[in-house]
A and B are shown apart, each in its own frame.
Chain A
Amino acid sequence: MTESVLKVEHLGIAFGGLKAVEDFHLEIGKSELVGLIGPNGAGKTTIFNLLTGVYQPTEGAIYLDGVPMVGKKPHQMVAAGIARTFQNIRLFKELTVLENVMVSFNHTMKYSILSGILRTKNYWKEEAAAQRRALDLLRVMHMEDYADQVAANLPYGQQRKLEIARALATGAKILLLDEPAAGMNPTETTQLMDAIQTIREKFQISVLLIEHDMSLVMSVCERIVVIDYGHIIATGTPFEIANNPKVIGAYLGTDDQ
């Protein structure tokens, strides 16, 4: 592993008396794919919300390329380079596929309201460039045919992919994917995983993946972190995790209970 892109230390959050996440550690290297698994309610999505600034942690630190990130708002997190997708799809349903992707370029675009209204040279230059980049990105995801369709009309699998494309478009260094394969059939899942691998190689991006499909997690992740009740119970390669008695216990229950 080269130097880490994302580094999380002692991260924790308490909702009143309930400690949803406690003492969470994580280091992700450049273009590494790490899986985050755990039983329902273990705190996986809470960790995502902490990493993206939706929740503010009550303790601990997050570093992106060595820069402290705690205290930033979600849109500032995105500008810094952390992008995410959602467990339940959150697309801009009435906007076209192309517009969905172009929204993510907004924070890198510079033309002012006035040049938007007067349609100055900057407007045309930046809009055309944004559109070209968005189409390139859709091509990578094999979605260019859908570009001028309204997002709500896409098939389910394509909607998932569009969410990833949109997150990628922010120019993120690390992508947090919250159950990207949920509700997909095996063929769609394979296609999705191929797409994620392509992205990693092409954009040199790191991925943190929450997923319930174990065969999938085991086959693509380089490293897996398992949490239960807000604590890390195991970290290691897929093989180590699959044979870890604590993990098996967390998922299936132990004899002495």
Chain B
Amino acid sequence: MKLYVNQKTAYRSYVINLIAVVLVFLLLKGLMSAGIINSYVAGVCMTVMINIILAASLTLTTGLLGQIALGHAGFMSVGAYSAALLVKHAKDSGVVLSTPDGITPAGYGYFLLSLLLAGVVAAFFGLIVGIPALRLKGDYLAIITLGFGEIIRVIIENVKFTGGAQGLSGIPRLASFDVVFWLTALIIAILFAFVRSRHGRAIKAIREDDIASEACGISNTYYKVMAFTMSAFFAGIAGAIYAQQMAVLGAKTFNFLKSIDILVIVVLGGLGSLTGSIVAATGLTILPEALRSFSEYRMVIYSLALIIVMIFKPSGLFGNYEFSLTHLLSKLRRPKSNTPAAGGESKQKEVTKA
């Protein structure tokens, strides 16, 4: 029978997935240098990657732990402002972060440092909110997290060091496509590995039945807080990338609707499927951009697309299914068995599919 843990096949699939990611990277870079991808499209690509990180991180709380959280934009904003303040401070104190030729090594260093800081600060907030909030379930948790998101936004608008309602501007643009691409791939790899560890299994068990999980020796509170904090950590990182891509921050960007946007991506992709959140993040970021020529009709088409998916596939595009490039390849090698029709387009970033 097929074994769940197998070191050999796992290593093989690491290599396969790494090759796939490198190919996607080279393809995108090639298109960029050939001028087929202009700076506008490259900007959309960055937004896609930020949304992938956001959606994948929310999948931890909503998909794996099974709790609806409506404050994800709050964690994102905490991360965004922490990172922005750090790199702005560095710039003001005379560190050369970028020259007209590009970003300096110090700039890359500060970028990564700011991401780490953003993640840690957001995770800290996640911990503070999570410990009391995760005692509640369902609607109550949703309301608490919604409240948290709004509180954060109002605080940012009213304190001085964040620039208040005017926002924060002059943030160095340190988010380069290459670094962000590999970071996204890395984060997705981390999340896939986490889901397949004993911790991920415990969290899924809580989603399935929290009374039974406790009766199997799992400390529900510990694992719930763990999932929620991790989720906040990666949301903070996404915020930090966002801040250093846009160069300006306004608290209004991180309102309730932003949280809903992320939740929509997760639900549309399929609760509990990281593949789904990646595909949906890509699709739902590109769709409104692609529909720009239809001007006022584009939001109608966007909403219609959502409604249609929810009617015909209520469990989301992927449900619980995770796409595996390794499985696909081994199926292709044996031509007799039928290959799955769906999932071909998501060849991107599942690095650690075991």
Contact = CB atoms under 8 A, between A and B. Distances in A.
Interface of A: 52, 54, 73-75, 78-79, 83-84, 86, 90-96, 98-99, 102-107, 109, 111, 113, 116-119, 123-124, 126-128, 130-131, 144, 147-148, 166-167, 169-170
A130 B190 CA distance: 22
A-B pairs with lowest CB-CB distance, top 4: A116-B197, A78-B217, A107-B217, A92-B208
A166 B226 CA distance: 24
A103 B194 contact: no
A106 B215 contact: no
B10 interface: yes
Contacts of B4: 96, 98-99, 102, 127, 131, 148
A102 B205 CA distance: 10
Contacts of B336: none
Nearest to B191: A117
B205 A95 contact: yes
B218 to A, nearest CB: 6
27 contacts: A52-B215, A75-B219, A78-B214, A78-B215, A86-B212, A86-B215, A90-B211, A91-B208, A91-B209, A95-B204, A99-B204, A103-B205, A106-B216, A107-B217, A116-B197, A116-B198, A116-B200, A117-B190, A117-B197, A123-B197, A127-B4, A130-B198, A148-B1, A148-B2, A167-B216, A170-B216, A170-B217
Contacts of A107: 217-218
Interface in B179-212: 190, 193-194, 197-202, 204-205, 208-209, 211-212
Contact of A147 (B1, B10, B215, B218): B1
Q: Size band of the B side of the interface?
A: 20 to 34
Interface in B111-170: none
User: Interface centre among B190, B193, B204, B217, by most A CB within 10 Å?
Assistant: B217
B104 to A, nearest CB: 30
B5 interface: yes
A68 to B, nearest CB: 19
A116 B1 contact: no
Contact of B199 (A73, A96, A113, A169): A113
B57 interface: no
Contacts of B213: 92, 103
B306 to A, nearest CB: 24
A98 to B, nearest CB: 6
Interface string B225-239: 010000000000000
B5 A94 contact: no
Contact of B5 (A83, A104, A124): A124
A123 B352 CA distance: 14
Given A116-B199, A131-B4, A94 B216 contact: no
User: Interface centre among A52, A83, A106, A109, by most B CB within 10 Å?
Assistant: A106
Given A92-B212, A113-B199, A123-B197, A131 B218 contact: no
Contacts of A90: 209, 211-212, 215
Contacts of B226: 113
A83 B217 CA distance: 9
Nearest to A83: B215
B115 to A, nearest CB: 17
Nearest to B272: A94
Contacts of B5: 124, 127-128, 131
Given A84-B215, A98-B4, A92 B209 contact: yes
Contacts of A91: 208-209, 212
Contacts of A92: 204-205, 208-209, 212-213
Interface string B1-31: 1111101001000000000000000000000
A167 B352 CA distance: 31
A113 B194 contact: yes
A93 B272 CA distance: 14
A134 to B, nearest CB: 9
B10 A119 contact: yes
User: Interface centre among A83, A92, A98, by most B CB within 10 Å?
Assistant: A92
A130 B202 CA distance: 14
Contacts of A95: 201, 204-205, 208
